[in-house]
Structure 1
Amino acid sequence: MFEYQAPLIETKPVDMPISYLNSRIFHIICYPIEVSQYVTDILRLRDKQLPSPIFIWEPTPECALKGYMQSWIEAMKMVDIILPNHEEIAELLGLISKDYKKNENLLTNEILIHMADKLLEHQIGLNGNGCVIIRASREGCLVATKERKEIIPTY
């Protein structure tokens, strides 16, 4: 079971130096209900002359529960890439529960692709052309779009 080992430090876009706001990529770790506000704030605060940045959303482990699916669907529309781990996505999809014992079956290519496809049924990104990257422990990760899925092994 996941547990934070130190107090959380919450950083909001208004706390960032201007040079950070002009980054090309933003990695946001938060609850799904916070994604829209973070993305909106970053876009409002950054230089309008710059091209749109890439937004990567890593959901917090606490929001990987089946009841959060609708809020995930809304959040996914705002980002280009979502970055859950295999256990979080399995729990969100109802394949396991918080009290499960380690299940190695979650790390098969077929299950990882199935889980990615379930997310890709929904819009990811403003134009629906986003990406899911499922972090899969010792198996590496699955990078998936509607057109292509690739397992990238650990090294």
Structure 2
Amino acid sequence: MGGAIEFCTLGMFILDDIEFDDGKPPVYGIAGGAGTHAVVGARLVAGPEHSKAVSWIVDVGSDFPQPILDQIQSWNTSCMIRVDKSRLTTRAWNGYGANEKRNFKYLTPKLRLEPEMLSDEQVTSKSFHMVCSSERAIRIVEEISRRRKVLQPDQTSKPVFVWEPVPDRCTPEDQDKFLAACRVVDIVSPNELELGMMFGRPGWNENNNGDREIVHKILRSGIGEDGNGAIVIRAGKHGCYAYGKGQRRIWLPAYHQPTPEGQSSVVDPTGAGNSFLGALAQGMVSSDDRLPMQIITSNLAGSATWSKLIDTWGNKSQVLKALICAISAAGFAVEQIGVPNVSRTEDGSECWNGTRFTERLHMYTQRLCKVLEESSQTQNWLTE
């Protein structure tokens, strides 16, 4: 069955308790964790036709709620459920303060996923999502690569590794380890705060020359085995910035934008970054004949700026389409507390929060076409 899996995460399932300081009522014991949210992102891009291509591990303790298990199984993913009634399910507290600043702590002992726990089928996945320290990222890549060589000694293709650094290890002391880990993954994606912290700054701003030099330093050090990987900086309500070697760069706005009255559809940002990266990883390995990629290609075909971006990124241009999938998926993640709700219409179409993913993708790419053309008048997207 090697090659049947397209996405696999080493992020955990966690029962989340979430508390806010802005008057929103708290919620307790909902489906969460980096792995869960990443799977939702990948599952949105894969669609119901390829849902079994999305794989993960869920550790079920004695207190695991049956409704959440039913919810997980309704996604129809390749989910390995491991039951251990002698322990509690991993649970964590999330506290949100001003400017969406998140505080986090585990409430029960965590059961971290290791590459040795993956099945042979999962090890042969086309893409992997990791949220971990630099040292662990290197070890995961090495162990998965070792096992793949044993299972498929004649296989020359390599999987896509998408790495999300853990916030508490984004420090100047870890900078050299961070750069070393970047060289073994294909995409590294800190958020703007974490990237700044890694280099001793309060945050990262695309318009600051010193902050832009941080990106150049990372690219000079190398991302990926061939140095042609990308850094994707997640910037919340400001969208994302992606950079690659050879003057490759792009900015994409967030899916949800405030109304003229200042209203927003964002309810809770928990898990949005994970969903973004799960969708990004799945988008990196989704073929052009699938509907999401056809929508992107068709709707942006008339944009001269998009065509130039495709040419600039060359054989790495799949990143651009994957980023659009990621932005669209993250838009679902923030609309409620917890994971988005999946349902089916009378005609059998799959909807998340009442909307088809492909419909969101269609609306976003139509808006993006205008944004790219307007931006090209005031900002040179094609050179550093």
Q: Please classify the TM superposition score into its range, dividing by the shorter chain length.
A: 0.7 to 0.9
Listed as ranges, the matches of 1:61-140 within 5 Å are 61-96=167-202, 106-107=204-205, 109-111=206-208, 113-140=212-239
Aligned partner (choices 254, 264, 271) of residue 154 of structure 1: 254
Is the contact made by 2:235 and 2:241 (CA closer than 8 Å) also made in structure 1?
yes
Whole-angstrom distance in 1 between the partners of 2:228 and 2:123: 24
Whole-angstrom distance in 2 between the partners of 1:66 and 1:42: 28
Taking structure 1 as the reference length, the TM-score comes to: 0.84
Distance 1:115 1:9, change over 3 A: farther
What SS does structure 1 have at the residue aligned with 2:207? Answer: helix
| 2:118 aligned partner | 16
Deviation at 1:2, TM superposition (A): 3.9
Of 116-125 and 80-89, more deviation after overlay is shown by 116-125
Is the contact made by 1:113 and 1:149 (CA closer than 8 Å) also made in structure 2?
no
Deviation at 1:119, TM superposition (A): 1.8
Is the contact made by 1:116 and 1:134 (CA closer than 8 Å) also made in structure 2?
no
Listed as ranges, the matches of 1:50-69 within 5 Å are 50=155, 51-69=157-175
Whole-angstrom distance in 2 between the partners of 1:81 and 1:42: 16
Segments of 4+ in structure 1 off by > 4 A? none
Unpaired runs of 5+ residues, structure 1, are 97-102
Aligned partner (choices 43, 56, 62) of residue 145 of structure 2: 43
Whole-angstrom distance in 2 between the partners of 1:149 and 1:115: 14
Instruction: Work out the percentage of aligned pairs sharing the same amino acid.
Output: 27
Q: Deviations over 1:92-138 (max 9, x none)?
A: 11122xxxxxx7xx44x324644422321211111111100000111
What SS does structure 1 have at the residue aligned with 2:194? Answer: helix
How many residues align? The count is: 146
Whole-angstrom distance in 2 between the partners of 1:10 and 1:21: 17
Taking structure 2 as the reference length, the TM-score comes to: 0.36
Deviation at 1:19, TM superposition (A): 1.9
Q: Deviations over 1:31-77 (max 9, x none)?
A: 00112210011111223244210111110011111111110111111
Whole-angstrom distance in 2 between the partners of 1:75 and 1:57: 9
| 1:99 aligned partner | none
Distance 1:11 1:93, change over 3 A: same
Whole-angstrom distance in 2 between the partners of 1:113 and 1:140: 17
Whole-angstrom distance in 2 between the partners of 1:39 and 1:32: 11
Whole-angstrom distance in 2 between the partners of 1:41 and 1:15: 11
Distance 1:18 1:119, change over 3 A: same
Whole-angstrom distance in 1 between the partners of 2:104 and 2:123: 27
| 2:127 aligned partner | 25
Whole-angstrom distance in 2 between the partners of 1:87 and 1:37: 25
Whole-angstrom distance in 2 between the partners of 1:154 and 1:36: 31
Unpaired runs of 5+ residues, structure 2, are 1-100, 256-384
| 1:4 aligned partner | 104
Whole-angstrom distance in 2 between the partners of 1:89 and 1:83: 9
Bigger radius of gyration? 2
